[in-house]
């Protein structure tokens, strides 16, 4: 490992949110890898949210989930996170849906209506209420809506024929989840971002929505209603999206090291690494959070 400590000094690794909460009025929280793992809420999360709300903190969930916010709200309730514990949800899926529905910029205005959907049935809410013709072949499509793999355990290679065919005829792609991969119930799986990255390698054009794009953070700040960004903390487990996005808009960020990158760092769940090791890991990614925490607990 290259010596990177001269670039990134040892980062503060906090035991919990309790000593940080007083410094902030609002929190932008990632969902997958911070609040839940796609199957269950992590231990201590609901308690932490309740304690923040007891201190009148404003909370918005910012997710790269390729689905609309009302669907995410239902999922959170089913997982045991009631709506009283947060002020709003911003998702990459909702961002993509709104643009596709409104056709409110030149890129979307020129899209046709024939859509080829790459993604599972649970993401069909991304097509509801829009006048689209969902086609069964990329050759018939005017654009691709990429919400991720059709099933678990798939690889990017499984989609090579589809991506090659679409790139050959210059079909534009909407990527409603820029994440490359996620850990679901302990199993690592690819996301829409992995397919989109391969599509770009093949020469295809991709329109991304979600973190780390600045637009989604603007919507979060609108919900929080906090003018001083110094009073807002973003919490996430992905350096490439959560932390880089917060840094890009000048918001303090807290890196949850037990999430997406935990395995890469050789950590067991809930284990806090040496602060120098965290700094080196962040330096390798060239992304510097304000601090780190093993898990989202009080």
Residue 188 clears pLDDT 90, i.e. is over it:
no
The 10s digit of each residue's pLDDT in 224-262 is 999 999 999 999 999 999 999 999 999 999 999 876 666
Banded pLDDT at 35 (limits 50, 70, 90)? very high
Decide if 188 contacts 157 (C-beta within 8 A).
Answer: no
Provide the residue ranges of all domains of the chain, joining segments of one domain with +: 16-64+229-291, 95-208
Counting DSSP H helices and E strands in the chain, the numbers are 9, 14
* First-to-final CA distance of the chain: 33
Point out the least confidently predicted range of 126-140, 183-197, 211-225: 183-197
Q: Which helix (H) or strand (E) holds 161?
A: helix 160-168
The overall average pLDDT reported for the chain is 91
Q: Which pLDDT does position 147 carry in this prediction?
A: 97
- Residue count (the chain): 298
Point out the least confidently predicted range of 52-56, 142-146, 189-193: 189-193
Q: Which pLDDT does position 268 carry in this prediction?
A: 66
Burial class (CB in 10 A: 0-12, 13-18, 19+), 78: exposed
Residue 182 clears pLDDT 60, i.e. is over it:
yes
| C-alpha distances out from residue 35 to 18, 197, 237, Å | 17, 26, 10
Pairwise CA distance, residues 177 & 189, whole Å: 13
Decide if 153 contacts 180 (C-beta within 8 A).
Answer: no
Identical fold, 16-64+229-291 and 95-208: yes
Query: Which of 3.40.50.720, 3.40.50.1000, 3.30.70.940, 3.90.79.10 is the CATH number of 95-208?
Result: 3.40.50.1000
Residue from 256, 249, 231 nearest 27 by CA:
231
Pairwise CA distance, residues 18 & 14, whole Å: 9
**pTM across the whole model:** 0.91
Q: Is beta strand 181-184 parallel, antiparallel or unpaired with respect to 187-190? A: antiparallel
Beta bridge partners of 90: 62
Q: Which pLDDT does position 269 carry in this prediction?
A: 62
Q: How large is the average pLDDT for residues 109-131?
A: 95
Domain 16-64+229-291, CATH class in plain words: alpha beta
CA 54 to chain centre: 27
User: 206 is written with which tokens?
Assistant: 């991709």
């Amino acid at each position: 490992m290259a010596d990177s400590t001269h670039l990134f000094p040892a980062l503060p690794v906090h035991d919990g949110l309790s000593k940080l909460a007083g410094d902030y009025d609002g929190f932008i929280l990632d969902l997958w890898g911070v609040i839940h793992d796609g199957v269950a809420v992590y231990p201590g999360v609901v308690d932490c949210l309740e304690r923040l709300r007891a201190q009148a903190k404003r909370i918005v969930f910012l997710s790269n989930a390729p689905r609309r916010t009302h669907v995410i709200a239902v999922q959170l309730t089913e997982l045991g996170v009631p709506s009283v514990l947060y002020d709003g949800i911003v998702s990459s899926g909702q961002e993509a849906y709104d643009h596709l529905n409104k056709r409110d910029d030149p890129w979307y205005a020129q899209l046709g209506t024939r859509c080829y959907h790459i993604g599972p049935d649970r993401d069909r809410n991304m097509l509801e209420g829009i006048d689209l013709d969902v086609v069964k072949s990329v050759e018939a499509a005017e654009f691709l809506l990429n919400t991720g793999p059709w099933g678990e355990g798939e690889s990017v290679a499984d989609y090579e024929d589809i991506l090659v065919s679409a790139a050959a005829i210059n079909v534009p792609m909407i990527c409603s989840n820029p994440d490359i991969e996620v850990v679901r119930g302990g199993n690592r799986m690819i996301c829409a971002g992995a397919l989109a990255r391969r599509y770009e390698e093949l020469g295809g054009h991709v329109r991304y929505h979600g973190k780390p794009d600045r637009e989604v953070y603007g919507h979060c700040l609108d919900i929080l209603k906090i003018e001083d960004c110094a009073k807002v903390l973003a919490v996430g487990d992905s350096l490439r999206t959560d932390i880089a996005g917060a840094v890009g808009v000048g918001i303090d960020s807290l890196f949850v090291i037990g999430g997406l990158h935990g395995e890469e760092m050789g950590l067991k769940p809930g284990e806090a690494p040496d602060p120098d090791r965290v700094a080196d890991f962040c330096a390798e990614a060239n992304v510097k959070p304000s601090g780190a925490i093993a898990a989202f607990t009080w």
